[in-house]
Amino acid sequence: MNKATARAHPNIALIKYWGKRDQALFLPATSSFSMTLDGLSATTTVEFSERFSADQVELDGRPIEGKALLRFQMLFDRVRALSGVDCPVRVASTNDFPTAAGLASSAAGGAALAAATSWAAGLDLGAHDLSRLSRQFSGSACRSVEGGFCEWRRGERPDGQDSFAVQVAPPAHWPSLRMVVAVCSGAEKPLSSRAAMQHSVETSPFFAAWVDQVPRDLALAKEALLRRDLGALGPIVETNACRIHAVALGAHPPTFYMRPLTIEVIDAVQSLRRDEGVGAWFTLDAGPNPVVLCEEKDAPRVAARLRRIEGVERLVTAGPGEGVCRLDEHLF
């Protein structure tokens, strides 16, 4: 049976990916570094069959059509070429967290899609090959193939063969590290990260400075993570997140992702740290929802503080999670 189901978890970048050097191949301008989250997940079932008249994709019950479908078909075509399986495909995927709201839903979905598609076609790809395949659906997805803490190495080759994520440390390296996600708005973001980062590449005078800075941020973050030193990791994570927003704000016209509530959450995190000595630092993707990095023992206090802010819709606390896995139960 040419059918398989995969589950993958989102990852949140500690050091962000922002901007490509090759758009067609999804090659990033810089390396990036992330934590895969437990708890939240995307589940995807893929079936290849002659019974289907055309490729069909359904995300959380909604059919994907037109240009959005083409993006999926590029991945299907790659897998068809690799496997020799040459028939239409049906895909259903569900997310247990908001899509396209800066919670890296495309990362979990992309990794689950790449894995399930390759398995349904009978391929048995290793983690690095799966990471390369996921990368070409959504860059950040390549960091959700493996669990724990992963570095997406930008690579040097023009064909992208050396651009994939490698696991720097497994979840067990730092099981007490937590990310508290403050969902300020589950609404779709105004501009996809893909479009916004390209807009930054083309129009932000700060982009060159970003490319120059990231290797230093990444080296510091990786060292701090390997030492399990939150007091060193937190500040560099917070600064690096602010730097992508500075690059995006420097674009013309500017790209804003923060909402008033985002700033309220950030203020609360900084005040917890300054006034109460709680080791908590925020990061922020291309969306309005801050994510707070802290130790397990402090997570309830962080969550209690953020819960008091009117408008915060939901708080999700996650630790380091595993990579993509295969499920026996299918969605259809």
Helix (H, G, I), strand (E, B) or coil at 253: coil
- In the complex, the smallest distance separating the C-beta of residue 135 from ligand PMV, rounded to whole angstroms, is 9
Residue 240 binds ligand PMV (CB under 6 A) = no
* 118 contacts: CB under 8 Å, gap ≥ 6: 79, 82, 83, 124, 125, 130, 133
Nearest-angstrom CA–CA distance, 254 and 257: 10
Residues 105-144 that bind ligand PMV (CB under 6 A): 106, 138-140
Binding range to ligand PMV, per CB under 6 A, among 9-17, 37-45, 46-54, 302-310 = 9-17
* 73 contacts: CB under 8 Å, gap ≥ 6: 55
Helix axis angle, 66-83 to 127-135, nearest 10°: 150
- In the complex, the smallest distance separating the C-beta of residue 96 from ligand PMV, rounded to whole angstroms, is 18
Residues 277-306 that bind ligand PMV (CB under 6 A): 285-286
Residue 269 binds ligand PMV (CB under 6 A) = no
CB atoms within 10 A of CB 330: 16
- In the complex, the smallest distance separating the C-beta of residue 155 from ligand PMV, rounded to whole angstroms, is 16
- In the complex, the smallest distance separating the C-beta of residue 295 from ligand PMV, rounded to whole angstroms, is 23
Helix (H, G, I), strand (E, B) or coil at 94: strand
Check: CB of residue 171 under 8 Å from CB of residue 38. yes
Residue 204 binds ligand PMV (CB under 6 A) = no
Q: What is the DSSP letter of 145?
A: S
Residue 150 binds ligand PMV (CB under 6 A) = no
Exactly one of 131, 193, 240, 317 binds ligand PMV (CB under 6 A); that residue is: 193
Judged by CB under 6 A, how many residues of this single chain contact ligand PMV?
Answer: 13
Residue 72 binds ligand PMV (CB under 6 A) = no
Exactly one of 32, 45, 144, 185 binds ligand PMV (CB under 6 A); that residue is: 32
- In the complex, the smallest distance separating the C-beta of residue 33 from ligand PMV, rounded to whole angstroms, is 9
Exactly one of 8, 13, 111, 237 binds ligand PMV (CB under 6 A); that residue is: 13
* Long-range contacts of 157-162, Cβ-Cβ distance < 8 Å, separation of 24 or more: 158/22, 159/25, 160/22, 160/25, 160/26, 160/27, 160/132, 160/135, 161/132
Nearest-angstrom CA–CA distance, 248 and 146: 29
Instruction: Return the H-helix or E-strand segment holding 248.
Output: helix 230-249
Q: Which is nearer to ligand PMV, 234 or 287 (CB)?
A: 287
Exactly one of 128, 153, 194, 301 binds ligand PMV (CB under 6 A); that residue is: 194
Residue 21 binds ligand PMV (CB under 6 A) = no
Residues 89-108 that bind ligand PMV (CB under 6 A): 104, 106
Residue 36 binds ligand PMV (CB under 6 A) = no
- In the complex, the smallest distance separating the C-beta of residue 89 from ligand PMV, rounded to whole angstroms, is 22
Residue 17 binds ligand PMV (CB under 6 A) = yes
Residue 218 binds ligand PMV (CB under 6 A) = no
Nearest-angstrom CA–CA distance, 135 and 245: 23
Check: CB of residue 141 under 8 Å from CB of residue 109. yes
- Cα separation values, 23 from 64, 113, 129, 160, 323, Å: 22, 20, 19, 11, 26
| Binding positions for ligand PMV, rule: CB under 6 A | 13, 16-17, 32, 104, 106, 138-140, 193-194, 285-286
